[in-house]
Structure 1
Amino acid sequence: MEPPHTLEAYVALVVETIEETEDFLACIDDADPEENWERYRLPMERILAGLRQLLAGLEGGAYRPPAADSPPFFDDIDALAADVPIRSMLREVARIYREGF
């Protein structure tokens, strides 16, 4: 994945990440209980809420990277294990949030 270099590309990444997060939560619903994916439900729900908040701020013009703070969902991303398939995408959204393009 090539990192976004414009605000429009970053918004597109955030939208895609929201969709992937929703898909991941749907997969948790369908997963075998023995695989223990349920442990990610609460952090992923907080991440999804934070992504939606970020998107609203980006679309409303209230926010443009870089920011002085970490995104509201940053701690939840760091708590995810490497086996979460969208972890790298989430980390990229958070990196651009902090560092800019």
Structure 2
Amino acid sequence: MNTLLNSVSLKQLLIERKVNTLWMTASWFHQVVESDLSIFEPLDYLIVGGDVVLFNYTNKLRELYPKLKIINGYGPTENTTFSTTYSIDKSNG
């Protein structure tokens, strides 16, 4: 858990394990964007869900990493998986 909440440790883990796809809750995603955008550099795909994903955070990320595919995943808790997804190609705002 400490690795996930520490931006330096998280970035190091993603690089060491050659992670190219990451799933995050919306609140964790918002927190990481505010702390260190470079964490997303090694990723090809980012899936964010569990709550409302705010466009100002996805816009910041898309400006810096335009090739990163950002996907908003949604599904009710009792489903324990995504029921629908939406590729965030451009954000309103």
Q: Is the TM-score greater than 0.5?
A: no
TM-score normalised per structure 1? 0.26
In the superposition, the TM-score normalised over structure 2's length comes to 0.27
More helix by share: 1
Q: Relative contact order (alpha carbons < 8 A, sep ≥ 6): 1 or 2 greater?
A: 1
